[in-house]
Chains A and B, each alone.
Chain A
């Protein structure tokens, strides 16, 4: 493995807390290996800040393998940075070159207020799930045998694809309207495609969409930016499916 190193300029959003105003600050950093992940570069940066007696920059992360949905950086204006189908933690420094300036900001949306530096509050996503992101089945040792209800493989596969959403919020951060349609439609689709989800389908879609609106997410105007930046490749087809489910439910309701 060759080991190219780079010197970079980082412009990082610094904000003390939810109430304070924030601003971009510039920092030089040197000797970054192309094999590092983006967050390892941030670790190196923070270690340097600590040794220099400065406060390190706060950012969310946990699994560092693209599945927990914690990491959430807007890098050079793109949610999760320049690579496709990856989260920030899977982005590698080989995507950048010596001398680059990298702007690092939090995911921005009214429904995602900044907590500190690059950390945002995404509990609005949880509240949408509380409104209907489940099948109403209690824990019981007597549910029917898992194979008593075959599910066509295509439906199972499509439901799985929708269910791989990691709840990161990149779709919202990429949308000029800060709409959460991709996220909500992924959950609605997963259940709409499975027999287990059909019973409550109508209430589910109405309640989740209602909560989405209450949280202050914007409207969907079909720009498709969300799909481009989504690290899990959640498809716009899900939004179309949710719209159909919603129409059906709204008509029946009235």
Chain B
């Protein structure tokens, strides 16, 4: 038997969670006061977990590297959050959300976890509304919904293009209430640099106070890692600049298995890169695909003319345009899942139809939507003979109301007006489905160490559907972890406070100090960013949207040599005992340089195409699905959980076989 025990409860899928909750040992309120829990990360997952655990009575210490919990990367989520409320009466249900998520994830997620996610999704909306989250409403005062890719119902709740902001501010306000009461002790500008294990259990962390450089020890009966995703291993991504893998990676090095590192989501609608100085990429929310149509010119001459500026995109007639998603996937059209849309854009651009100077851009066009909405509005207003200008004006106003802030953002960055000319977009790294392996209770393979939110691997399989990360983060933090952690902590009521004056803490602190000194004293010649960019290039070219055996082997060799070079030649100015952003970056990049290798190794091991992982060796050769990704359920229907073994290249593979009892395994078709 595998060493991995997913602890999925017995019984029919729809009863598993309820039964499990009923059988979890409870900790009595008086005892909760004696139990410390560390929560690292205060995004949606960590913020909601910290607040809920404190409300229940645990003593919580929360950590974030930003100067306030409100600035966690979750703040940037735009489009929305899914929930199976069926407010639109369009046939939505817990089962349908469950089904869509498993199918969207290309049958590489764990059924029981996904079902639970769908089950608690409705509670999330109730909870957030009770907190005062101002979701969009219709004229009757009820909550409004929109659609996202890969589904046929309208179940996404939103707050203009700032849904993540509003949800995070909700969780932040719940935290603030507990901070004010002294139930949460908040450590801003503190970065976790190691996990401390005592007798095999997670018992604390080593952190660096980013203002003073002091190294601190913090102990607890359990440690929750809600530290987000690792998309920045690609250097350029839509993640915030500080998003990193370090907390998860350090836990990995201490024994937590890392699952499916190669599952990365490359989001189809991002603003294309503009130059070498580019520091990050900006997402244009998927919600835009509700109304925007994606196309490139049919003819190469038009491509050339557009690139050189001789022709404007609006000058091309309908039949000179190739709406390639509508052409290839008539059932889902522009709303195919992200991985499918991204690969289709790459295919067109690789074939020479990219519409900007770099050849890496396609159009996202709102002209039809503006006309459609304009006509609708004119009818509503009784303006039967409205002029074309008037219709455009009315339609543009509708679009502005829906996506105003996104259009403004685009305009500020690109200096073009998306109301009058189509946006240019290209895929970019956005989200990582892989992460720390967790069981049904969200516990990693280290007893007492939990992972929540994007940091774990649990719910999205090989591809995440839009608006499901916010759902998962809040489900984990509000409704799952606060219950499941009790199962473990009920055995801890007699443990008493955990001392930090032990050899284990001593040793972990010493290692951290040595790593810092090595970097600060290295005296090399190249900046941290230099190495991060080198790594990013290898990742994007060889481990990006399309992967193959030779490319992956090359990537592994290159990453190893960049890593060696980094430790020889990196230059970290400034000292260890002060605010030092270059040192912070260096610590993070050092860990990315190890993760990158495991990432490529995992991609090499998985010789099938599934979700965001596309192996050129594994495509459908004929039939209706010709050219589409080919999954291999006979050989790869497992979660790859990697165990650290002194070197990322030497990691040991453990397989969690996936079982599909409630959903039939099928080829994922959006045709």
Contact = CB atoms under 8 A, between A and B. Distances in A.
B248 interface: no
The size class of the interface chain A forms with chain B is: 35 or more
A250 interface: no
Interface stretch (B26-34, B270-278, B296-304): B270-278
B73 A62 contact: yes
A150 B137 CA distance: 9
Interface string A1-31: 1010000000000001100000000000000
Given A139-B127, A153-B138, A56 B179 contact: no
A68 B132 contact: no
B529 interface: yes
Contacts of A223: none
Contact of B120 (A49, A141, A191): A141
Contacts of A1: 274, 356-357
A163 B139 contact: no
A254 B200 CA distance: 59
Contact of B162 (A47, A67, A126, A139): A67
A16 to B, nearest CB: 8
Nearest to A195: B132
Interface in A45-90: 47, 49-51, 53-56, 58, 60-70, 83, 85-86, 90
A94 interface: yes
Interface stretch (B387-395, B409-417, B431-439, B661-669): B409-417
Contacts of A152: 141
Contacts of A62: 66, 71, 73, 240-242
Contacts of A122: 67-68
A64 B129 contact: no
B174 interface: yes
B66 A70 contact: yes
Interface string A222-249: 0000000000000000000000000000
B142 A147 contact: yes
Interface in B570-604: 571, 573-574, 578-582
B182 to A, nearest CB: 10
Interface in B71-114: 71-73, 75-76, 85, 87
A41 to B, nearest CB: 8
Interface in A112-164: 115-116, 119, 121-123, 125-126, 129-131, 133-141, 143-147, 149-153, 156-157, 159-160, 163-164
A35 interface: yes
A108 interface: no
Nearest to B579: A116
B173 A50 contact: no
Interface stretch (B164-172, B325-333, B362-370): B164-172
A35 B357 CA distance: 14
Interface in B232-247: 240-242
B76 A153 contact: no
Nearest to B67: A122
A216 interface: no
A160 B357 CA distance: 39
Given A50-B582, A66-B409, A152-B141, A143 B280 contact: no
Given A56-B582, A90-B412, A141 B479 contact: yes
B71 A69 contact: yes
A70 B189 CA distance: 12
B132 A139 contact: no
B352 to A, nearest CB: 20
A64 to B, nearest CB: 5
Contacts of B177: 130, 134, 136
Given A62-B73, A141-B479, A156-B141, A44 B132 contact: no
Which of A16, A135, A144 has the most chain B CB atoms inside 10 A of its CB?
A135
Contacts of B120: 141
B143 A139 contact: no
A61 B241 contact: yes
A49 B277 CA distance: 15
Given A116-B578, A135-B130, A156 B278 contact: no
Given A146-B85, A151-B141, A156-B134, A63 B529 contact: no
Interface size class of B (residues with CB under 8 A): 35 or more
A39 interface: yes
Given A33-B277, A90-B412, A134-B176, A68 B75 contact: yes
Name the residue in A56, A126, A191 with the highest tally of chain B Cβ atoms < 10 Å from its Cβ.
Answer: A126
B258 interface: no
A134 B165 contact: no
Given A92-B413, A150-B142, A123 B66 contact: no
Most buried by B among A65, A123, A136, A149: A65
A177 interface: no
B67 A121 contact: yes
Contact of B132 (A94, A119, A196): A196
Contact of A64 (B51, B68, B279): B279
Contact of A145 (B126, B159, B580): B126
B136 A156 contact: yes
B581 A40 contact: no
B176 A160 contact: no
Contacts of B279: 37, 39-40, 43, 64
B527 A36 contact: no
Contacts of A41: 277
A86 B413 CA distance: 11
A122 B67 CA distance: 8
Given A139-B48, A150-B140, A156-B141, A123 B131 contact: no
Contacts of A68: 66, 70-73, 75-76, 240
B50 to A, nearest CB: 11
Given A47-B529, A123-B67, A133-B173, A146 B129 contact: yes
A153 B180 CA distance: 32
Given A141-B123, A141-B479, A194-B134, A33 B67 contact: no
Contacts of A166: 75, 165
A90 B179 contact: no
A64 B240 contact: yes
A167 interface: yes
A116 B543 CA distance: 39
A90 B574 CA distance: 28
Contacts of A179: none
Contacts of B482: 139
A164 B165 contact: yes
B52 interface: yes
A195 to B, nearest CB: 9
A197 B131 CA distance: 8
B126 A143 contact: yes
Nearest to A144: B126
B55 interface: yes
B135 A140 contact: no
A190 interface: yes
Nearest to B283: A65
A164 B573 CA distance: 37
A141 B122 CA distance: 9
A220 to B, nearest CB: 23
Contacts of B180: 130-131
Nearest to B78: A67
Given A139-B51, A144-B126, A146-B126, A160 B166 contact: yes
A156 B433 CA distance: 34
A63 B415 contact: no
Given A55-B574, A58-B579, A151-B137, 7 more contacts: A37-B413, A47-B529, A70-B71, A92-B412, A144-B130, A150-B137, A163-B134
20 contacts: A40-B278, A41-B277, A50-B573, A53-B573, A56-B581, A56-B582, A58-B580, A63-B71, A65-B280, A67-B162, A69-B71, A125-B68, A126-B186, A129-B172, A135-B130, A143-B123, A149-B129, A153-B138, A163-B166, A194-B132
- The 5 A-B residue pairs whose C-beta atoms are closest, nearest first, are A150-B141, A134-B173, A130-B180, A160-B134, A146-B129
